[in-house]
Structure 1
Amino acid sequence: MAISSSASVSMQARVPATVRVSLQKPVSIFNYGKTNLSFNLRHRTPARLTISCAAKQETVEKVSEIVKKQLSLAASQQVTAETKFTDLGADSLDTVEIVMGLEEEFGITMAEERAQKIATVEQAAELIEELVKEKDA
């Protein structure tokens, strides 16, 4: 007989936050300065943790289209929030071109250190929303 319990937590914070959720074993979630973080914890055998993208869907879609354009991918090629640039065949020069395309499209400037840490569409979308928010403030 399987026992199932679930918990759902959503938080918004402007400072780094730590949330600890305990069922059988402690689980720590670190916010690392992100403004939005949501996750679902479903305890089954084994326990599963699902984290969803904090960026808006429209931002993720726009980033996906720019990535497709910069890498000359077919329109039918599926690019999701979890897609890694390297999985699409992007090298470091391609990644620089993607960042430049994103900067132009969203009217922002990404610091080189932060741009180098972008590996997925989701990370790019989250950084863009953060920079747009800072720009508008």
Structure 2
Amino acid sequence: MASVAGSALSFARPVKATNTNSISLTSARKGNAFLRMQPVPMRFAVCCTAKKETVDKVCDIVKKQLAVPEDIEVSGASKFSDLGADSLDTVEIVMGLEEEFKISVEESSAQSIATVEDAAALIDRLVAAKSSEKPSGKPLE
């Protein structure tokens, strides 16, 4: 049993929360409060870290590289493996992305790419880093 004193909440015995999606306090009688766990429907939200234009280009390249049928949707959340890509296909996708965006992807970074969104976010970071590089000491003409 829990009791509320001012703004502090104390418990007569230890309480272990196994599902912390929702915690509510209800009062059965004046002066007493009970801790009740309620399941909350999980909502899935996709938060894109890459630019939409980059995601769209990557989707097009992946569809072309894997010969994905027109009726199959490819989005930022699409996993290469779910689209039928094996490790060789993934290497070829990365090579296509390097060519399209004029970047170079290190092997360690390429191995962390599992989804279209992963690839697009990496591309945006590499393009931003490339554009922020200083000129190589050559005088401007």
Counterpart amino acid of residue 118 in structure 1 = I
Q: Compute the RMSD of aligned alpha carbons.
A: 2.1
Task: Tell me the TM-score normalised to structure 2 length.
Answer: 0.63
Where does structure 1 differ by over 6 angstroms across 4 or more consecutive aligned residues? none
Pairing 1:59–2:54 present: yes
Number of equivalenced pairs: 98
Q: 1:75 deviation in Å?
A: 2.9
Secondary structure of the structure 1 residue equivalent to 2:45: strand
Change (3 A) 1:109 1:50: same
Given candidates 121, 124, 136, the residue that maps to 2:119 is 124
State which of 88, 92, 97 in structure 1 corresponds to 2:83.
88
Partner of 1:77: 72
In structure 2, what is the Cα distance between the partners aligned to 1:102 and 1:52? 22
1:72: how far off?
1.2
| Greater Cα radius of gyration, structure 1 or 2 | 2
CA gap 1:51/1:88 in 2 versus in 1, 3 angstroms: closer
Structure 1 unaligned blocks of 5 or more: 1-22, 26-43
Q: What is the 5 A alignment of 1:1-137?
A: 45-46=40-41, 48=43, 50-137=45-132
One-letter amino acid of the structure 1 residue matched with residue 45 of structure 2: T
How far apart are the structure 1 equivalents of 2:67 and 2:44?
34
Q: Among all aligned residue pairs of Structure 1 and Structure 2, give the percentage whose two residues are the same amino acid.
A: 57
Matched residue of 1:98: which SS? Answer: helix
TM value normalised by structure 1: 0.65
